[in-house]
C-alpha cells in the first residue's frame, strides 16, 4: 500500500471511530443519562482527541512519503497542526442542534446526521492543515484528491491540481482549506509540477480547462453533461468484442441489483491492465491494446495471476461478463460484491461495489480457489 493509501485509510478509520464514540454518548443522552450540555462538551473532547491523532497520522504520512525521495532528505521534521479548538467545536455542535428543531422540538435523527457530518469535517481538519502547512513551509505543493462520488465543489477544487504559494490560480488555496460537512476528500503532498498527482486530479485539471467553466455551477453542468464523475472514460476496445449481458443488466445472484454497466472497463482491465491510478512504483499503464499488463498468459506484470495460453482474449472477455451475470459462487459484504465463475480449468473472480444504487467495477482475474463462505 502506498503512503497515500495508508494515510487515507488511517483517516477514514479515525473518523469512523470518532463517530462510533459519539454514537455511544448520543445513546446515553437519548436514555436521559447524559444532558445535552454534557454531550456538547463530550463532542468537543472527541473532535480534539481524534483530531490530534489525525494530525499525527498526517505527520507520519509526510515522513513516509518524503523518505522515498532522496532529494527531500534535508527537510525538517513536519509540524503537527493543532486540533480544532473548543469554541469552534461547540459552535458547530450548537449549529447542528439549533437547525434541527421543528416547532421547538429537537429532531433527533436530523441532528445526529448533521453532527456526524461535522465530526468528519472537524476530525479531518487538523490533518489537512498539517499537510498544507508543511508543504508550504518546505516549498512543496499540495492537492485535493476527491472521494469517489465527490460533489462538484470538491471536484472543482481537485481540478486545481498541484497548489503552491507562487502559483496564483483563483481559489487554489481552497483546495486544502475548505471542507464541507461529510466531506471525505484527502489532501496530499505532491511535486510542484504535479507529475506525481493521481490520475483523477490530472483528468479534472484537463476537464476544467476543456469546460471553459468560470465557477462551480458551470463546472457542475459540464461534468454532468460528460455523463460521469471521476475520470475520463477509457477508449473503446477494438481487438475484442466487449460482450453485452444476456439478461437485463441485473444480477442473478443478487436479485434486482444492477451489474456494472461499463463492461469495456472490466474487459480492458483484465486483458490489458488499464487502470485509473499508476501501479505501485508509479508506473502508468498506457490505455492501449498493446499494453500487456493485465492477466493474459503473456502479461508482463510481475505477480499478476494469468489465464492459460489456450484462453483467447475474446474467451476471457466473455467469461468475465458471464461471471458478473451468472456466477457459480457469490459473496456480499457491505457495498462490496465478489463473484466467481468456475469454467473449465479456470476460476475467475470479479469484484465490484454498489455505490448510490450503481455498480462500479473493481477488478477481475483468475484465482486458485473459491472461499468456502461464498454461497452457491
For residue 13, the minimal CB distance to Zn ion (Å) is 18
Kindly report the number of other CB atoms within 10 A of residue 347's CB atom.
19
Residue 200 contacts Zn ion per CB under 5 A? no
3-state secondary structure of 261: coil
If the CB atoms of residues 120 and 285 are measured against Zn ion, the closer one turns out to be 120
For residue 174, the minimal CB distance to Zn ion (Å) is 11
* Residue where the block lists cell 445472484: 253
| Half-sphere exposure (Cβ direction) of 5: Cα atoms closer than 13 Å | 7
Query: Which residues on adjacent β-strands are paired with residue 106?
Result: 101
Residue 141 contacts Zn ion per CB under 5 A? no
CA distance 109 to 118: 14
Q: Which 8-state DSSP code applies to residue 232?
A: P
Residue 185 contacts Zn ion per CB under 5 A? yes
Return the range that interacts with Zn ion (CB under 5 A); candidates 145-153, 235-243, 265-273, 299-307: 145-153
Which DSSP helix (H) or strand (E) runs through 11? helix 3-30
Residue 183 contacts Zn ion per CB under 5 A? yes
C-alpha cell at 118: 461535522
Residue 187 contacts Zn ion per CB under 5 A? no
Q: Which of 8, 154, 266, 285 binds Zn ion (CB under 5 A)?
A: 154
Please give the residue whose beta carbon sits closest to Zn ion in the complex: 154
Query: Which residues on adjacent β-strands are paired with residue 333?
Result: 336
Pattern 84-123, Zn ion, x by CB under 5 A: ----------------------------------------
C-alpha cell at 56: 499525527
Return the range that interacts with Zn ion (CB under 5 A); candidates 33-41, 92-100, 158-166, 182-190: 182-190
- Beta strand spans in the chain (E): 101-102, 105-106, 141-145, 186-190, 329-333, 336-343, 346-355, 358-367
Residue 213 contacts Zn ion per CB under 5 A? no
Asked whether 143 and 194 are in contact (CB, 8 A), the reply is yes
Return the range that interacts with Zn ion (CB under 5 A); candidates 87-95, 126-134, 158-166, 181-189: 181-189
Return the range that interacts with Zn ion (CB under 5 A); candidates 97-105, 144-152, 286-294, 355-363: 144-152
Residue 156 contacts Zn ion per CB under 5 A? no
Which residues contact Zn ion by CB under 5 A? 150, 154, 183, 185
Amino acid at each position: 500500500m502506498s503512503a497515500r493509501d495508508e494515510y487515507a485509510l488511517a483517516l477514514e478509520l479515525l473518523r469512523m471511530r470518532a463517530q462510533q464514540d459519539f454514537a455511544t454518548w448520543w445513546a446515553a443522552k437519548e436514555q436521559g443519562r447524559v444532558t445535552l450540555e454534557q454531550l456538547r462538551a463530550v463532542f468537543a473532547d472527541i473532535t480534539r482527541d481524534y483530531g490530534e491523532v489525525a494530525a499525527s497520522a498526517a505527520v507520519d504520512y509526510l515522513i513516509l512519503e518524503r523518505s522515498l525521495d532522496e532529494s527531500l532528505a534535508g527537510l525538517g521534521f513536519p509540524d503537527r497542526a493543532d486540533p480544532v479548538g473548543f469554541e469552534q467545536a461547540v459552535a458547530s455542535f450548537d449549529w447542528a442542534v439549533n437547525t434541527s428543531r421543528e416547532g421547538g422540538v429537537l429532531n433527533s435523527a436530523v441532528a445526529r446526521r448533521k453532527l456526524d457530518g461535522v465530526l468528519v469535517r472537524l476530525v479531518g481538519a487538523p490533518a489537512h492543515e498539517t499537510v498544507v502547512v508543511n508543504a508550504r513551509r518546505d516549498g512543496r505543493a499540495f492537492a485535493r484528491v476527491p472521494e469517489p462520488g465527490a460533489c462538484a465543489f470538491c471536484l472543482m477544487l481537485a481540478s486545481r491540481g498541484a497548489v503552491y504559494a507562487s502559483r496564483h490560480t483563483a481559489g487554489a488555496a481552497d483546495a486544502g482549506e475548505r471542507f464541507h460537512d461529510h466531506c471525505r476528500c484527502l489532501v496530499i503532498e505532491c511535486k510542484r509540477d504535479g507529475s506525481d498527482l493521481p490520475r483523477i486530479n490530472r483528468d479534472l485539471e484537463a476537464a476544467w480547462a476543456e469546460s471553459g467553466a468560470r465557477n462551480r455551477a458551470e463546472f457542475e453542468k459540464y461534468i454532468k453533461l460528460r455523463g460521469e464523475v471521476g475520470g475520463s472514460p477509457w477508449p473503446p476496445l477494438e481487438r475484442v468484442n466487449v460482450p453485452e449481458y444476456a439478461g437485463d443488466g441485473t444480477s442473478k445472484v443478487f436479485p434486482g441489483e444492477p451489474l456494472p454497466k461499463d463492461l469495456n472497463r472490466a474487459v480492458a482491465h483484465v486483458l490489458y491492465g488499464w487502470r485509473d491510478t499508476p501501479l505501485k512504483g508509479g508506473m502508468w499503464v498506457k490505455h492501449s491494446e498493446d499494453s500487456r499488463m493485465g492477466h493474459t498468459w503473456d502479461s508482463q506484470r510481475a505477480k499478476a495471476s494469468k489465464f492459460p495460453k489456450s484462453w483467447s482474449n475474446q474467451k476471457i472477455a466473455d467469461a468475465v461478463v458471464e461471471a458478473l451475470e451468472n456466477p457459480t459462487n457469490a459473496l456480499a459484504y457491505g457495498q462490496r460484491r465478489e463473484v466467481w465463475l468456475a469454467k473449465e480449468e479456470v476460476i475467475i473472480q470479479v469484484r465490484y461495489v454498489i455505490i448510490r444504487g450503481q455498480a462500479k467495477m473493481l477488478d477481475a482475474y483468475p484465482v486458485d480457489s473459491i472461499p468456502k463462505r461464498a454461497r452457491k
